[in-house]
A and B are shown apart, each in its own frame.
Chain A
Amino acid sequence: MIDVRNLTKSFGNLYALRGLNLTVSRGTCLTVFGPNGAGKSTFIRILATLSKPTQGEIRIEGKDIFTNAEQYRNRLGVIAHATYLYDELTARENLVFYSKLYGIPDRDATVNRLLDEVGLGKRGNDRVRTFSRGMQQRLSIARAMLHNPDILLLDEPYTGLDQHASELLTGWIMKLRSDKRTIILITHDLAQGLEVADEVAIFLRGRVAHSAAASNFSNKEFQQLYFETVAGGREN
């Protein structure tokens, strides 16, 4: 279970997060929505240990993530709109590089399996700079899955993807969800975000303005709630 308590992040006088509280049960997929500047990406960066909070804490199964950061990062996979891939290296070289960083024992077999799984088995020896945005994002999924993480953070992974690539990504998130991994997804796409979610949260001005089970809403109902919440600044 991910337990976020009183999470606050300020940059000088500017507050990105203001005492955010949130609980994510193990094996569930939480989709976080919110307008620009709501604190979604700051939240993900802190959750990924890339940034430290000004105040508050995040505990996973009772352990503070910053106290056990290296151990925690071994359980964490991050897929963002930035792919974390090196253009001059081939798809295979990128995965081998990251698998060395994670100390994966059966490196070649793992890399080959993941390349096949994301449909890039035949393009493994091509440089990443020759890949389309959709292919790069698929390779980015393989990169994030190298060490078989049980917690996945997805920060606007749909950015820049065409319809087909978006559908493929949704399929992948569904597959990861069915593996009972804990997923936190940030997206601006209400329909796609709702489709994959077990739970939804709407962030507004650095706080959770609304959170509920995704099954409570149809697409239309959720859209209405979202726009009412964002326009009216309503919090539950």
Chain B
Amino acid sequence: MTLVYKDLLSEFRSRETISSMLVFSMLVVAIFNFAFDPGSAYAQQAAPGILWVAFTFSGIIGLNRSFVHEVDKGCLHGLLLAPFEHGAIFFGKMLGNLIFISIVELLTLPLFAVFFNLQTLQGLPQLLVVILLTTLGFSAVGTLFSAISVNTKTREMMLPILFLPVVIPILLAAVNATAMIFDGKGWNDISDWLRLLAAFDLIFISLAYLTFGFVVEE
């Protein structure tokens, strides 16, 4: 929690990560709104995909910044020198990323609902659960790959190349579950997708936690 608080405080002071994520996310939603006729069948069909395109790519912006502050002045070494297991750093950074991405998602969602004329309030609890489970797995994998890509010369490019193929199962489940929610389906209908998301989260968090120590070791 110490690490999460530090990340939140740094971000509150600089406001550089969340603001860039939010601008990107809202731009995606706005551009797609102009591309499709609001309320049309095409817009309704494309809406889940558009929502997750906005969330995914704005999330990548945040994940890219996640370890930049840690390596700028060697702070990652400062963390690694502390007398605890390195896996704790993974959980701290993952939780921070989860909070940042979730804030952007929650701020984007109302704008998306207005632009795409969606009655999201009806399926809002289901949608929030899908978003939370997806963002959790997304943050776990993203934190691990962010730690890998931050030491490469082309880190902005490297992260999506490494990260996106791995999170495809999560994104597929998220888009399908979201489409069902937008179609007015209930908890029972989306339960398979929720179980799949929860299973992926469990697998990805465990694997990322176990491999993080090897990733940060030089």
A51 and B75 alpha carbons, distance in the complex (Å)? 16
B14 touches A88 (CB 8 A): yes
CB atoms of A83 and B73 under 8 A apart = yes
Q: Is A113 an interface residue (CB 8 A)?
A: no
- Besides A82-B74, A84-B81, A127-B13, 4 other A-B contacts (C-beta < 8 A): A49-B81, A84-B73, A88-B9, A88-B69
With A70-B83, A71-B83, A73-B83 as contacts: A88 and B13 at CB distance below 8 Å: yes
- Measured between alpha carbons, how far is A48 from B217 in the docked complex, in Å? 11
Bound-complex Cα distance A127 to B79 (A): 20
B residues whose Cβ falls under 8 Å from a Cβ of A: 2, 6, 9-10, 13-14, 69, 72-75, 77-85, 217-218
Contact B83 A102 (CB under 8 A): yes
* B141 → chain A closest CB, angstroms: 24
Contact of A100 among B2, B13, B77, B85 (CB under 8 A): B2
Are A101 and B218 in contact, with the CB atoms below 8 A? no
Beta-carbon contact of A76 and B81 below 8 Å: yes
Interchain CA distance A74-B105 in the complex, whole Å: 40
**Restricting to A83-122, which residues have a CB under 8 Å from any CB of B?**
83-89, 93, 97-98, 100-103
A-B contacts, 12 of them at CB < 8 A, read A48-B77, A50-B81, A70-B83, A70-B85, A78-B77, A82-B73, A82-B74, A85-B73, A88-B13, A89-B13, A98-B82, A101-B82
CB-based contact A97/B6 at 8 Å: yes
Complex alpha-carbon distance, A82 and B13, angstroms: 22
Of the residues B73, B82, B217, contact of A51 by C-beta under 8 Å: B217
Residue pair B77, A82 in contact (C-beta under 8 Å): yes
> What bracket does the count of chain A residues touching chain B fall in?
20 to 34
CB distance from A124 to the nearest CB of B (A): 16
Among B2, B72, B83, B85, which residue has the most Cβ atoms of chain A within 10 A?
B83
What residue in chain A is nearest B88 (Cβ atoms)? A101
**In the bound complex, CA of A82 to CA of B78 (Å):** 10
* A88 surroundings in chain B (CB, below 8 A): 9-10, 13-14, 69
Q: Which residues of A contact B81 (CB under 8 A)?
A: 48-50, 73, 76, 78, 84
* Chain B: CB-nearest residue to A153: B81
Q: Which of B2, B73, B74, B217 contacts A87 (CB 8 A)?
A: B73
Residues of B within 8 A of A86 (CB): 6, 10, 69, 73, 75
Q: Does A80 contact B (CB under 8 A)?
A: yes
Q: A50-B80, A70-B84, A102-B83 are in contact. Are A85 and B75 (CB under 8 A)?
A: yes
> Residues of B contacting A74 with CB < 8 Å?
83
Whether the Cβ atoms of A84 and B14 lie closer than 8 Å is no
Q: Closest approach, in angstroms, between the C-beta of B192 and any C-beta of chain A?
A: 42
Chain B residue at smallest Cβ distance from A78: B81
In the bound complex, residues from chain B placing their C-beta under 8 Å from that of A87 are: 69, 72-73
Smallest CB gap from B15: residue in A: A88
Q: In the complex, what residues of A have CB within 8 A of residue B69's CB? A: 86-88
A143, CB-defined interface residue at 8 Å: yes
Residues of B within 8 Å of A177, CB to CB, are: none
Tell me which residues across on chain A come within 8 A of B80, comparing CB atoms.
49-50
Contact yes or no, A52 B217, CB < 8 A: yes
Name the B residues within 8 Å of A73 (CB-CB).
Answer: 81-83
- B83, A98: Cβ atoms closer than 8 Å: no
Please encode chain A, from 65 to 83, with 1 for each CB lying within 8 Å of some chain B CB and 0 for all others. 0000011011010101011
Q: Check B78 against A143 for contact (C-beta < 8 Å).
A: yes
Please measure, in the bound complex, the distance between the C-alpha atom of A5 and the C-alpha atom of B209, giving whole angstroms.
32
Instruction: Enumerate chain B residues within 8 angstroms of A70, measured Cβ to Cβ.
Output: 83-85
CB nearest to B79 among chain A residues: A101
Which of B6, B72, B83, B218 has a CB less than 8 Å from the CB of A50?
Answer: B218
Complex-state Cα separation, A97 to B6, whole angstroms: 7
Ordered nearest first, which 3 A-B pairs have the shortest CB separation?
Answer: A82-B74, A84-B78, A101-B82
CB 8 Å contact bits of A151-176 with B (1 = contact, 0 = none): 00000000000000000000000000
Q: How far is the CA of A73 from the CA of B84 in the complex (A)?
A: 9
Contacts of A84 in B (CB 8 A): 73-75, 77-78, 81
Q: Which residue of B lies closest to A147 (CB)?
A: B83
* A89-B6 CB under 8 A given contacts A74-B83, A78-B81, A102-B83: yes
